[in-house]
Amino acid sequence: MSSDLVAVWEVSLGDGVHTIEFEHGTTSGKRVIRVDGKEIYRNNWMFKLVGREDFIVGKARCRILIDAISGFSYEYTLEVNGKSLKKFSENQTKILRSWILMIGETGIRVTLEKDTLDVWVNGEKVETAGAFVDDGTETHFEIAGRSAYIKATSSGKRKDGIKHQLFVEDQEIPLAKD
């Protein structure tokens, strides 16, 4: 790992949690961006030490802002879809529901994007079929050849909104705690 590593952020998106690393050489202006350990941008020499770098992670537009705070001290800020990471994360908490389960030896992450009703299994968007049931709706799909569905029902409280539950082979899976 480089001694120029100045920031690491975790970003939760519909396709999973991504790690963004940023290296900044404060003498050379070098900038390196890695997403999930894979280098996506490198510039080894930049005259201007402050500025911004724009890049894409999944469906999200990201920007790293580099600001001088005093002398050779810098502040690094990550924006996602035009919002600070904090604001973006708060919004994601409202629109994403995630579950983690094991099938055999394999860990599987299922994520529902409540605003689009897209379902992701281990970062891949899956085909779904919706059905109305007596107490709400069910969104059916498959996980590793097993039948699964997300049931949406009213919580009965306006403030709490709609409750989402994942069932795999009719077994309820608890929400992930991320």
pLDDT value, residue 7: 95
pLDDT value, residue 178: 59
Q: How many CA atoms lie within 13 A of 18 on its CB side?
A: 22
| Token pair of 146 as six digits | 């097993």
What b-and-e string marks burial along 114-130, b requiring 16 or more CB atoms within 10 Å of the CB?
Answer: eeeebbbbeeeeeebee
Note whether 5-81 and 95-173 share their fold. Answer: yes
25 close to 79: Cβ distance less than 8 angstroms: no
Q: Which CATH number fits domain 5-81: 3.40.50.2300, 3.40.50.1240, 3.40.50.1700, 2.40.128.180?
A: 2.40.128.180
Could you tell me how many helices (H) and strands (E) the chain has, helices first? 1, 17
What ranges do the domains of the chain cover?
5-81, 95-173
Q: Residue type at 130?
A: G
Q: Return all residues near 1 (Cβ < 8 A) that are at least 6 apart.
A: none
Per residue of the chain (178 residues), give pLDDT as tens: 457 899 999 998 888 889 999 999 888 889 999 999 999 999 998 778 889 999 999 889 999 999 998 877 899 999 999 999 999 988 888 889 999 999 888 889 999 998 889 999 998 999 999 999 998 999 999 998 999 999 999 877 777 788 999 999 999 999 987 5
pLDDT value, residue 1: 47
Query: Comparing C-alpha atoms, which of 77, 126, 119 is closest to residue 96?
Result: 119
CB-based burial of residue 73 (10 Å sphere; 0-12 exposed, 13-18 middle, 19+ buried)? Answer: exposed
Top CATH class of 95-173 equals mainly beta
